[in-house]
Amino acid sequence: MSLETLNTATIEQATDSFIQCCTSSAWVNAMVAARPYADEHGLVKQADLAWQDLQQADYLEAFDGHPQIGNVETLRAKYANTKALASGEQSAVNEASEQVLLDLAKGNADYLNKFGFIFIVCATGKSAIQMLALLQARLPNDRATELSNAAAEQRKIFHLRLEKLL
């Protein structure tokens, strides 16, 4: 999609495009309302401004737009092989051992139980072992710190998705 197409899209079309980048309805509405964008830099700047003005409930809504890695079968599929994921956001993922998959599943469940939202990380270029290390490093945090960490990771994700959108 070109920036011109995004700028001239209907509200519904623009909403559908932005929701693919982030599922916070407040963020999506702000992005749709701020059109037209003069250039990609203006789009990214608006994305960041809209993100920093959100409330906790808006961040949680964005996090809910991600699938939870909650069971070993999901993890096996996700980390099965690099080639199948090359075009996706886990493009650098290597095959993971069964123990790493089990530890990721447990860590994700522990994270959800502790913080009340799923573990959010920008997975691009990260292996399963790296994801596990990040998860374990963040588990000792308090909820406010983790909400901030997750929001920062979500920001990285929508930046990548905006880039892909255009």
Helix (H, G, I), strand (E, B) or coil at 105: helix
126: tokens are: 């990260």
**Residue 88 confidence (pLDDT):** 47
The span from the CA of 45 to the CA of 55, in Å, is: 18
Residue located via tokens 């998860």: 135
Question: Which residue stretches of 9-142 are H helix?
Answer: 11-19, 25-33, 40-52, 56-63, 72-78, 98-115, 128-138
pLDDT tens, residue by residue, 31-85: 999 999 999 999 999 999 999 989 999 999 999 888 766 556 665 555 554 333 2
What's the rounded mean pLDDT across residues 9-29? 95
- 131 pLDDT above the threshold of 60: yes
Of 127, 154, 150, 128, residue with least CA distance to 139 = 150
Structural domains of the chain ordered from first start: 67-142 (1.10.3330.10)
Specify whether the CB–CB gap between 154 and 59 falls below 8 A: yes
The span from the CA of 88 to the CA of 90, in Å, is: 6
- What are the C-alpha distances in Å from 48 to residues 8, 86, 88, 154, 157? 21, 27, 23, 11, 12
How many C-beta atoms lie closer than 10 Å to residue 38's C-beta?
Answer: 9
Residues 143, 105, 99, 130, CA torsion sign: negative
Query: What does pTM read for this prediction?
Result: 0.83
Asked if 66 is an active-site residue, the reply is: yes
- 157 pLDDT above the threshold of 70: yes
Question: From the candidates 66, 78, 126, 138, which is the catalytic residue?
Answer: 66
